[in-house]
Amino acid sequence: MAMTTETASTSPSALDIGKQKHARLVGTVLIALAVLVALVFGAGSDGDAVFRLSRPTDALVLPDLSVPAMQFNYIIAGLLAFLGARQFLRGGVRWSSLSLGIGLALVVVTFLVWATSGKAFSLTGMLQATMVRAVPIALGGLAGVLCERVAVVNIAIEGMLLAGAFTGALLGSIFGGIAGVAAAVVVGGLFGFILAALVVTYRMDQIIAGVVINLFVLGLTSYVSSQVFQEYRSLNNAPVFRAIKIPLLGDIPVIGPMLFYQNIFVYGALVMVAVATYYLFYTRSGLRARAVGEHPRAADTLGIDVYRTRFIHVTLGGMVAGFGGAWFTLGSVGRFDENMTGGRGYIGLAAMIFGRWHPVGALMAALVFGFADSMQQKLALLQTPIPSEFLAMSPYIATIIVVAGFVGRARAPAADGQPYIKE
């Protein structure tokens, strides 16, 4: 018996073996990426990549950044190989996740340098477009965070975005942009309240309830768009909110146009993420909300009204999604088109998981999607040999990797998706 105990204590545990395998897998991927960068992006580069850091209208004009593409990419390939070799020598799940994240970011940089070699494009303009295109995804992800932190899965984010876009276009065309935004927020909150009633009061399956709302909104808006807006075009001609430059901050090179020269939807998204982060993690009410998501029965025994908490947060999530939906019409094109959200609500859910159910994490994940979207358009202008459609797949591939747990298992709230029955 003593010998058995001694053998068990000296043999490596299954957890340690799993960590070693994970570290070696990440190391193999990093070395493979190093080979890819060296053979494709390094050898295939010709000339310098020129990035414009300023625009002619900027108060402070910076000189263009010229990067020798071939040499730069070979250096990055060596750095990737170093990170991969380090994984074999000194593993660890946390360091593996960090190394893989750094490696993927370096690959994106080398790809951008390779695509721009011998050419030039505006880096400031691309970063500004990245922020704009990340807004609906970030707001969709934030809506998901508010709902799932109280253990309600909100598949209906897509429908709420679409309802907000439709309402913003209709009421914005009649009463003006501010009224359109307010109406979009109210309608989004209404659908959030309906979702809460279905899943909290009547304990309907949360996935089915969300799909029902999505299909209802899609069918209703498509019918009105094809039957009413075609005949009464004045009802689908909303004003578009223009960018507002914040004095002094908007003149900061590169960062200024990205963060401080945007419309109200970008500013609203940043403020909402900051407020939600403070609320969820630094206030008593936020602690109670997270307790409802982790252990609703224990929260109930402490006097927290689980039903009321879920109703409030799902309704708030709907309001956030409604505001995000108004971006499509009042912040972008000024008109509503059938199914114009294009699955951004589902991408917002992926951003929420990518961001580990944290408002700031969801925003960072949304920026990844927005960056890929804006880069896709830039590459089309640069006429690279790789079709831009392939680049559009990269955010979804990254989502699959994250959801599969390759860069570390993301843990949802313990009671997520489970109905609560008060005894």
- Residue 376 pLDDT greater than 80, yes or no: no
Strands 65-68 and 48-52: antiparallel
Q: Note the pLDDT tens digit of each residue in 280-330.
A: 999 999 999 999 999 999 999 999 999 999 999 999 999 999 999 999 999
Query: How many CB atoms are closer than 10 A to CB 359?
Result: 25
Q: What is the dihedral of CA 383, 387, 392, 394, to 10 degrees?
A: -110
Q: Are 348 and 359 in contact (CB under 8 A)?
A: no
Give the C-alpha separation, 88 to 84, whole Å: 7
pLDDT, position 42 = 84
What's the pTM value of the predicted model, to 2 decimals?
0.89
- Cβ burial of 242 (10 Å; 0-12, 13-18, 19+) is exposed
Question: For 71-92, how does the pLDDT look when each residue is reduced to its tens digit (9 = 90+)?
Answer: 999 999 999 999 888 887 776 5
* Helix segments in 260-382, DSSP class H: 264-282, 284-294, 296-301, 306-328, 344-354, 359-382
Q: Tell me which of 148-157, 206-215, 324-333, 398-407 is least confident.
A: 398-407
Indicate the range of 33-37, 40-44, 76-80, 132-136 predicted with least confidence: 40-44
Does the structure show a pLDDT above 70 at 403?
Answer: no
Element at 62 (helix H, strand E): none
